[in-house]
Amino acid sequence: MSEPLFRTPKGTHDVLPQDHQYMTYIKKAVRHRARQAGYKRIDTPMFESRGVFERGIGEHTDIVEKELFTVTGKKDNEGKAAEFALRPEFTAGICRAYVEHGMQQLPQPVELYSIGQCFRYDRPQKGRYRQFHQIDLEVIGLKDPSLDAQLIYVVTKILNDVRILDRLTLQINNIGTAENRQAYVAALKDFFIGKERNLPEEDARRLQTNPLRLLDSKNGDTQVLVRNAPKLEQFLSGESKQFHETLLEYLDELGVRYVPNPGLVRGLDYYNQTVFELWDQSTGAQNAVGGGGRYDGLIELLGGKPTPGVGFAGGMERMIWHMKEAGVRVPDKDQVDVFVAQLGPEAKKKCLALVSELREKGVHTLGALGEASLKSQMRLADKFQAKYALLLGKMEVKEGTIILRDMQAGKQKQIKYGQAIPQVIKLLGEKNLDTYVLRDQIGEVDED
Ligand code: AMP
């Protein structure tokens, strides 16, 4: 094979048909669990005004400082160009939509979910791409620990449906209110006075811009210093502590297992109170499958009235990786049931109708009507791993018969032409037919 002229850009990948089997399986679980719990689907644009992310996620977070995929529009008459960014996550865009569409007028909380591509201009490595897929759930408009508990419960249901929950641990923490954190950040800065020299350059800068990030620094020197620094826990208000205790009680009630983790802060500015992540049991934080938390200040930052919210985002590629590691087998919905082979102009004409009719009945049918020899057609039937083949030659047309071949058993029999479809359906089983029906009168169309 010659070297291709073009390849996917660094950090991106094609989602090939075999990967879609996993994607579809996950999407089904998300849709099913989300609908059970009253979530409605929302799709926001893949790009937004940069400010949505800069304000929402925070200017001094890794996502905005280093990973934002920016897009500049064309210059207008005044020579100004709009500044956009590809979405690095869903929450900020969904909250922008909540404000823009006046969703505070709806009964609260508004529960929304989304599935789609996100973009981060990160250094690509295993499990870290520049374009990847997230599943996302948001509960906006009310503040109560029962909502956090219910959201987390739905997330564990989804992960259990795709059979990877037991490979993960739910890490959970409360990072307090914005005021709690302000007091803590001041104490942290005080603590580091005179110690800046011992910090690596990046962490010394973070001490100024986003000191909380020091808590989950990967640098050994920083970690040693942080061990003796004041703890966020000491700055939590009674209200925050109460909120967290109640949440943990609710999770116990729901039978959700968790690991309290006082070091968990998450990298985004908008979080307050509850934060949680689902870690790979073996590798820990580096390969979190998902995470989320409460963001009671975000909507106000985006220009709306103060409105609480709590949400979760999970990475689909990482979920698929776990499913494969765990040996989860997903159904292959693209299997070929029947391959129709023919010889001669009359047979070809009849097969054209036969193929359509089989398909109409819900049988996955292929036919190489362009191929000349019967032998090459049967070779194709083999390659497509068809379960059955129907062969129609000149003789059969004359006799009003057709040959039905069981491809795996390698056995075949001649049957009446009119029996072809009923026989195939009987062999496959009615329940295995892929019929496309609109479930409701006005049609509930399956989203992609
Ligand atoms: P975050 O909000 O940054 O914790 O992202 C939520 C989830 O999205 C993570 O737990 C990952 O599963 C996934 N994710 C985030 N960034 C990437 C990336 N660059 N490539 C693949 N998956 C990612």
CA of 313 to the centre of ligand 1 (A): 8
Q: Could you tell me how many residues make up the chain?
A: 448
Q: Supply the pLDDT for residue 111.
A: 98
Nearest CA to ligand 1 atom 11: 315
Dihedrals φ, ψ of 309, to 5°? -165, 160
Q: Supply the pLDDT for residue 212.
A: 84
Task: Kindly tell me the burial class for residue 222, based on how many C-beta atoms sit within 10 Å of its own C-beta (0-12, 13-18, 19 or more).
Answer: buried
pLDDT at 122 over 70: yes
CA of 307 to the centre of ligand 1 (A): 25
What are the pLDDT digits (tens) for 43-75? 999 999 999 999 888 877 788 888 999 999 899
Q: Supply the pLDDT for residue 442.
A: 56
Q: For a ligand 1 pocket test, name from 10, 87, 132, 133 the mutation site with the most ligand atoms within 8 angstroms of its C-beta.
A: 132
Atom of ligand 1 nearest to the CA of 318: 12
Name the pLDDT band for 198 (thresholds 50, 70, 90): confident
Angstrom CA distances, 163 to 55, 73, 264, 299, stand at 37, 43, 25, 34
pLDDT at 437 over 90: no
- What pTM, to 2 d.p., does this model score? 0.90
- What are the residue ranges of helices labelled H in 50-144? 50-57, 62-65, 91-100
CA of 232 to the centre of ligand 1 (A): 25
Q: For a ligand 1 pocket test, name from 23, 91, 94, 134 the mutation site with the most ligand atoms within 8 angstroms of its C-beta.
A: 134
Lowest pLDDT segment from 204-208, 280-284, 421-425: 280-284
Q: Where are the beta strands (DSSP E) in 12-151?
A: 40-41, 47-49, 70-75, 81-86, 110-119, 131-140
Average pLDDT over residues 212-237: 88
Name the pLDDT band for 438 (thresholds 50, 70, 90): low
pLDDT at 134 over 60: yes
- Kindly list the protein residues whose Cβ atom lies closer than 6 A to any atom of ligand 1: 89, 120, 122, 127-129, 132, 134, 288-291, 313-315, 317-318
Say how far apart CA 76 and CA 14 lie, in whole Å.
Answer: 35
- Work out the angle at residue 198's Cα, subtended by the Cα atoms of residues 194 and 199, and round it to the nearest 5 degrees: 105
Domains (range + CATH), the chain: 17-177+237-325 (3.30.930.10), 338-432 (3.40.50.800)
pLDDT at 428 over 80: yes
Q: Please give the span between the terminal C-alpha atoms of the chain, in angstroms, as a whole number.
A: 33
Q: For a ligand 1 pocket test, name from 62, 66, 89, 158 the mutation site with the most ligand atoms within 8 angstroms of its C-beta.
A: 89
Q: Supply the pLDDT for residue 35.
A: 97
What are the pLDDT digits (tens) for 339-387? 999 999 999 999 999 999 999 999 999 997 777 788 999 999 999 999 9
Name the pLDDT band for 284 (thresholds 50, 70, 90): low
Average pLDDT over residues 110-138: 96
State the chain's mean pLDDT as an integer.
92
CA of 288 to the centre of ligand 1 (A): 7
Dihedrals φ, ψ of 338, to 5°? -135, 135
The torsion defined by the Cα of 214, 218, 224 and 227, in degrees rounded to 10, comes to 50
Q: What's the token pair of residue 160?
A: 């259990």
Name the pLDDT band for 390 (thresholds 50, 70, 90): very high
